Structure 1
Amino acid sequence: MATVPYATACAVGAAGFGFHAYNVLRRPGGLSWANLFYAAPLGAPAALALAGVIGLAARPVAAGAPTLAGLPSGRALCGLAAFGLAGTSAEAALLHFRGAFQHPAMWVPVSVPPVTAVMLAGAALPGARGPRRLTNALLTACTWLGVLGMGFHARGVARQMGGWRNWSQNLLAGPPLPAPPSFSALALAGRAALALRAAQEGSSRDRMQGAA
């Protein structure tokens, strides 16, 4: 029963992605930049599905499973978090481009998370070794990016006609409040994956030294 919420998130996210893709493709021009800008956002249901996948992956890891999908669990989760950061940054790039990058801070979600995703993906590769201080520092930056980004989006809502007094309309018309915290959640997942990767490396070294 504990996996039901995560499996439900996966199913709802996958179905939602299908509906959103249909909404994009059924418009004149099909898969075009204009439709990606103004039709149903593809990244939103995909993020829900990814959250479900991470939740499902956490269960066997918590039980001590050494592998996920045939890979060491630390490496698998590093790759999953890197994929999520890259996809979320791509969605932010699309919507911030639509907003013409009116504020310099709008460049941060399209610059820091992609670099972080590359570094985290490197930790998922076989044979990756050594300290990962830079990767951890970038993940910390992404965590704070989500917090501060929500503040910027709240400011964007306040600048709409009527501000927060007209919250029922401006929450829909203004920048989405739940979007920036996605970076925080994925960065925290990435930090956990790096810690697990380091622990598995340490266990492997101990076994090799014991065998020697």
Structure 2
Amino acid sequence: MKQITTSDAGAIALACGLAAGALAFFASRRDRHGTAVQTHIDTARTFNRSSALLALSVLADSAMEHYRGSFDNPAMYAPLIVSSLSLLAGLHGGSDRESARHPLRSPIYLGAALTGVAGTGFHLYNITKRPGGWSWPNLFYAAPIGAPMALLLSGALGAVAEKLREQPAREPRLFGLPAGQALALLTSAGLAGTVGEVALLHFRGAFHNPVMYAPILVPPVASALLLNTALAAPQPRWFSRVWLRITTALGFAGVGFHARGIARNQGGWRNWSQNLFNGPPLPAPPSFSALALAGLAALRLRETER
């Protein structure tokens, strides 16, 4: 029987990532054309699922990184607990077809958003207390600024989902704007922030693989298209929809490329206990998929607004 090498393992992982991206691509094509109530509930469920995917990314990433930090501060346990709850709330909401706010999901999402804000403060403090303060080495190797923001976005997307369920027969509004417009702005900003974090880490890796340019070239276009969707008059936008699907697939494919990067380290997956920490982070790329799926939901909602 042929032994599977680290290169084979990386190729298998890459294929799995691409397959998952393809599934997400085709799943995102199932747009429903029903009543306004059905559209709002379907959109809410999509936001629940996007929130769950972001929470899963935060849970896996913070569990690894805070374990590496030996949970030096007891507050480092908070994102694990909160992201687990947000993940469960998102999975429950994603299957919930009811048109009413859930009494437990709403406070969980609020807690996730507040924890994300607090975590950002902790990570900023972690950078400033190091010798040299705001410097490239500290930005590269200190606590990542963007990581807690993913938990904030998970809570925000989940809270939006519950808001859409409050009065599904009416045109929902958020922050004084039509909900589709507000959500397009939110997901556009989320994608832009995620690109900034990825650009910093891929710059640290010297872009040694040309594929590393993809997550700093494709998602910014999706962000710009969502911004245009929010600022322009509502109308069908097929190109924006296609580009967001590409961005969704990119996030899942990124897991495969990161798995291949881990396999190329000394010892490959046989030395997983070290290489998972030393290689590219597996939980990071799905953040793009989660935000792109949320962008597709915002786009669908925006097209119904007049």
Which structure is richer in relative contact order (CA contacts within 8 A, separation 6 or more)?
Answer: 2
**Equivalents in 2 of 1:131, 1:3: separation in Å?**
31
> What letter matches 1:164 in structure 2?
W
Q: Does 1:107 align with 2:213?
A: yes
Which segments of 5 or more consecutive residues in structure 2 lack a partner in the other structure?
Answer: 1-103
Which of 185, 198, 206 is the aligned partner of 2:303? 198
* Identity rate, percent: 57
**Equivalents in 2 of 1:7, 1:187: separation in Å?**
22
SS at match of 1:3: helix
Q: Cα deviations across residues 92-142 of structure 1 (Å, max 9, x unaligned)?
A: 1000000000111100000111111011011111x4233311211110110
Q: What is aligned with 2:225?
A: 119
SS at match of 2:305: helix
Q: What is aligned with 1:172?
A: 277
Aligned residues of 1:23 and 1:39 also touching (Cα < 8 A):
yes
CA RMSD of aligned residues (A): 1.3
After TM superposition, where is structure 1 displaced by more than 4 Å over at least 4 residues in a row? none
Using the TM superposition, give the Cα deviation of residue 200 of structure 1 relative to its aligned residue in structure 2, in angstroms: 2.0
Q: What is aligned with 2:130?
A: 27
Q: Does 1:91 align with 2:197?
A: yes
- Normalization by structure 1: what TM-score? 0.90
**Equivalents in 1 of 2:242, 2:129: separation in Å?**
43
Aligned residues of 1:122 and 1:128 also touching (Cα < 8 A):
no
Which segments of 5 or more consecutive residues in structure 1 lack a partner in the other structure?
Answer: 202-212
Q: What is aligned with 1:204?
A: none
Q: Cα deviations across residues 77-96 of structure 1 (Å, max 9, x unaligned)?
A: 10111011111111110000
Q: Does 1:77 align with 2:166?
A: no
Aligned residues of 2:234 and 2:305 also touching (Cα < 8 A):
no
Using the TM superposition, give the Cα deviation of residue 156 of structure 1 relative to its aligned residue in structure 2, in angstroms: 1.0
Q: Does 1:39 align with 2:142?
A: yes
> What letter matches 1:33 in structure 2?
W
How many residues are treated as equivalent by the alignment? 200
Q: Cα deviations across residues 136-192 of structure 1 (Å, max 9, x unaligned)?
A: 111011001001101000111111222112222221111111110000000000000
SS at match of 1:110: helix
SS at match of 2:304: helix
- Normalization by structure 2: what TM-score? 0.63
